[in-house]
């Protein structure tokens, strides 16, 4: 005699299951005493399509069917070629086998009870998957997907993006703080303090490369988390997790979470989930302009118009470098979102290991100093530095001003590493000096008099070049110079006479004095003097 459950599936769904799920979930439908289990397949593998009860050993059946048999049939090896079994009336005389997977139940469980309970379990799992799919298909709320999954996972369920933005938190009981997420944090990002804790947590960083459901230990938050990373075209975009709060995590939860994550991925792809809420192509337009690529003015104008901007508005830009940790966990998307929502007229773009901030002064109604002051208060929270350009009119001029921000950052980090931000106007002179010679050997630009002085110092172990540099820096004031050099006036007067004799240069000439001063500054920057 044969009884079977035939599973009906949607074309888009593969509603198959495994013995891990049956072992852990069957207790919801059957108060049983499991005597033995032998499970060898992967917890994510779901090879079982149907279930049957049979008292016939001659019946041929597909290998992906779950067969319910008696302990007597098991003992007499009347098990055909099946791979998966539920065995009722299991006792001490039943021998274990390694060539198949099975669950053995004590004598209190009948074959009919096993069939009914397993059938009921399969039906509810199927209905769960169908409902998930229907919600995702009609662009339902992500939280709906989580709520109807609480029954099977039994623990709180959370979803957050790769940029650490909370999407939903579902719990069976009253709201509690989970990880860093609380109900009032929905659609918000983690705080700078919380992000800082994750940036340098090696255990958390390792989880970003995980491609299967895995456990995050309890050392960090006080309870274990089963998580599954959702990827789009191989890129980590979100994380689904269930927290070990209400009951221990089970083997079945791995597969259940993966099924839910797959539906979440489908919903995300269907909605074309973006990293930010920017107007279509605006990020590409700006980065193209920065790199000198032509952008059609009408397209740029249309995109700006949607934002309430005009291409001829007044702007300034900011460059913020990212650390390796920031890149890996995408924490800066949270910073970008915070800046855009906190400062009117701010556009934040992530590109090539840095953040580009474009501020529209015309739209903002705030001046540059006000915006910079507020921006820096946020950057301090994230322990980041920034190069700041001068204001400019017309977005199509952004390339030159992006370079200002770039050089302000580059030079500022060398000259003033202890401060948070660098305005280009403070480093403009240094930038000009660094670029005067280009790729040319600096010595080729030395005036003849300077070459003579350097040669004399080297041959006679003197420091006349340094004395001349100090003299020019002090606006040719003898009093100020001797104070800087810590020498007597008569000594310096003698040195000055020797410098004039060696160089045969008139330092009263303005152009000569400017030339020497500039070369001395370049030499100092390059560590040559």
Q: Give me the mean pLDDT over the 7-34 stretch.
A: 75
427: Cβ–Cβ under 8 A, 6 or more apart, which residues?
407, 408, 411, 412, 415
CA atoms within 13 Å, Cβ hemisphere of 343: 29
- Residue-wise burial string across 337-349, b where 16 or more C-beta atoms lie within 10 A, e elsewhere: bbbbeebebbbbb
Distance CA 516, CA 510 (A): 10
Low-confidence winner among 81-90, 135-144, 299-308 (lowest mean pLDDT): 299-308
| Residue with the larger pLDDT of the pair 59 and 2 | 59
Q: Which of 377, 405, 435 is the last residue of a domain?
A: 435
What domain range is 21 assigned to? Answer: 2-122+130-135
Could you tell me if 196 and 286 lie in one domain? Answer: no
Do 266 and 216 belong to one domain?
yes
Are residue 334 and residue 360 in the same domain, yes or no? yes
Do 301 and 357 share a domain, yes or no?
Answer: yes
Q: Residue 30: inside a domain, yes or no?
A: yes
Same domain, 427 and 341: yes
- Find the DSSP H helices in 217-331: 251-271, 282-290, 297-307, 324-329
Question: For residue 357, what are its two tokens?
Answer: 């901030």
Domain count across the chain: 4
- Banded model confidence at residue 185, pLDDT cuts 50, 70, 90: low
Q: What is the length of the chain?
A: 529
DSSP-assigned beta bridge partners for residue 165: 189
Whether residues 245 and 330 share a domain: the answer is no
pLDDT score at 343? 84
pLDDT: which is higher, 201 or 401 = 401
Provide the token pair at 370.
């006000």
Look at 151-160, 184-193, 228-237, 354-363 and tell me which has the smallest mean pLDDT.
184-193
Residue 277 lies in a domain: no
Domain boundary among 435, 464, 489: 435
| pLDDT at res. 1 | 35
Pairing of strands 392-393, 314-321: antiparallel
Q: Are residues 430 and 474 in the same domain?
A: no
- Token pair of 36, please? 């033995």
Residues 372 and 485 in one domain: no
Look at residue 434 in the predicted model and tell me its pLDDT.
72
Same domain, 95 and 157: no
pLDDT in tens, 441-480: 677 678 889 989 999 999 999 999 999 999 999 999 999 9
User: Which string of b and e fits 279-293 if b means at least 16 CB within 10 Å?
Assistant: beebbebbbebbeee
CA nearest 485: which of 474, 470, 507, 504? 470
Task: Find the mean pLDDT for residues 28-56.
Answer: 82
Overall pTM surpassing 0.75 (yes/no): no
Residue 154 lies in a domain: yes
Instruction: Say whether both 425 and 458 belong to one domain.
Output: no
Phi, psi of 194 (to 5 degrees): -65, -40
Query: Is there a contact between 124 and 103 (Cβ–Cβ < 8 Å)?
Result: no
- Torsion, CA 84, CA 89, CA 91, CA 96, rounded to 10: -10
What share of the chain in percent tops pLDDT 70?
Answer: 84
90 compared with 6, residue with greater pLDDT: 90
Quick one: average pLDDT of 406-422? 91
CATH number at residue 351: 3.30.70
Q: Evaluate whether 34 touches 105 at the Cβ level (below 8 Å).
A: yes
pLDDT for residue 437 = 59
Q: 464: closest CA among 489, 445, 492?
A: 492
**Domain presence at residue 113:** yes
Calculate mean pLDDT across residues 30-56: 83
- CA quadruple 242, 247, 248, 251: dihedral sign: negative
Average pLDDT score over residue span 485-514: 91
Q: What is the DSSP letter of 18?
A: -
**Beta partners for residue 54, in sequence order:** 2
406 against 61, higher pLDDT:
406
Domain boundary, last residue among 410, 435, 460: 435
Q: What crossing angle do the helices spanning 489-503 and 448-460 adopt, rounded to 10°?
A: 120
* CA distances to 199, 331, 333, 399 from 421, in Å: 21, 20, 20, 20
Please indicate, yes or no, if residue 276 is contained in any of the structural domains: no
Query: Average pLDDT for residues 498-503, to the nearest whole number?
Result: 93
Q: What does the mean pLDDT of the chain come to? A: 83
When pLDDT is cut at 50, 70 and 90, the band that residue 174 belongs to is low
- pLDDT category, 307, cuts 50, 70, 90? confident
pLDDT band for 234, please (50, 70, 90 cuts).
confident
In a domain, 298, yes or no: yes
Q: What pLDDT sits at residue 2?
A: 37
The per-residue pLDDT for range 312-332, each reduced to its tens digit, is: 999 999 999 987 666 666 667
**Mean pLDDT of the region 340-357:** 85
Question: What CATH code is carried by the domain that includes residue 484?
Answer: 1.10.10.2840
What pLDDT score was predicted for residue 488? Answer: 93
The pLDDT of residue 521 is above 50: yes
Which position has the higher pLDDT, 330 or 484?
A: 484
Higher pLDDT, 515 or 1: 515
Tell whether 478 is covered by a domain. Answer: yes
């Amino acid at each position: 005699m044969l009884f079977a459950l035939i599973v009906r599936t949607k074309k888009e769904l593969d509603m198959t299951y495994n013995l891990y799920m049956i072992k852990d979930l069957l207790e919801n439908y059957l108060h049983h005493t499991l005597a033995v289990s032998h499970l060898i397949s992967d917890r994510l593998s779901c090879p079982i399509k149907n279930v049957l009860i049979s008292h016939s050993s001659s019946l041929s059946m597909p290998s992906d069917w779950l067969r319910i048999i008696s302990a007597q049939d098991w003992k007499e090896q009347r098990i055909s070629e099946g791979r998966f079994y539920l065995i009722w009336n299991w006792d001490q005389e039943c021998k274990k086998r390694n060539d198949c997977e099975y669950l053995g139940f004590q004598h209190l469980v009948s074959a009919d009870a096993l069939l009914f309970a397993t059938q009921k379990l399969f039906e509810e799992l199927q209905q769960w998957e169908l409902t998930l799919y229907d919600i995702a298909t009609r662009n339902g709320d992500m939280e709906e997907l989580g709520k109807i999954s609480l029954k099977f996972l039994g623990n709180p369920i959370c979803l957050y993006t790769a940029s650490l933005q909370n999407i939903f938190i579902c719990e069976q009981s009253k709201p509690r703080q989970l990880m860093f997420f609380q109900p009032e944090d929905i659609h918000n990002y983690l705080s700078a303090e919380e992000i800082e804790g994750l940036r340098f947590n090696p255990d958390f960083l390792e989880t970003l490369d995980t491609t299967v459901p895995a456990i995050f230990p309890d050392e960090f938050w006080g309870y274990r988390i089963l998580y599954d990373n959702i990827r789009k075209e191989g890129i980590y975009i979100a994380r689904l997790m269930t927290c070990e709060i209400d009951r221990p995590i089970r083997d079945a939860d791995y597969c259940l979470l993966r099924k839910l994550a797959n539906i979440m991925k489908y919903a995300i792809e269907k909605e074309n989930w973006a990293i930010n809420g920017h107007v279509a192509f605006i990020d590409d337009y700006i980065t193209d302009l920065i790199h000198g690529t032509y952008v059609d003015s009408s397209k740029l104008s249309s995109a700006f118009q949607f934002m309430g901007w005009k291409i001829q508005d007044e702007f300034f830009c900011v460059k913020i470098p990212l650390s390796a940790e920031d890149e890996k966990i995408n924490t800066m998307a949270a910073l970008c979102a915070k800046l855009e929502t906190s400062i009117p007229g701010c556009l934040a773009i992530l590109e090539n290991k840095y953040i580009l901030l474009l501020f529209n002064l015309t739209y903002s109604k705030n001046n540059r100093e006000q915006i910079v002051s507020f921006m820096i208060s946020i950057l301090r929270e994230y322990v980041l530095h920034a190069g700041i350009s001068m204001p400019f009119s017309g977005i199509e001029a952004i390339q030159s001003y992006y370079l200002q921000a770039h050089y302000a950052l580059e030079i500022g980090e060398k000259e003033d590493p202890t401060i948070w931000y660098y305005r280009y106007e403070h480093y403009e002179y240094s930038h000009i000096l660094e670029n005067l010679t280009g790729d040319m050997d600096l010595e080729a630009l030395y005036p003849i008099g300077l070459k003579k002085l350097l040669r004399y110092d080297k041959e006679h172990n003197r420091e006349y070049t340094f004395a001349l540099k100090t003299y020019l820096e002090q606006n040719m004031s003898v009093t100020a110079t001797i104070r800087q050099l810590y020498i007597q006036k008569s000594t310096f007067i003698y040195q000055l006479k020797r410098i004039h004799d060696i160089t045969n240069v008139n330092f009263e000439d303005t152009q000569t004095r400017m030339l020497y001063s500039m070369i001395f500054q370049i030499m100092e920057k390059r560590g040559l003097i």
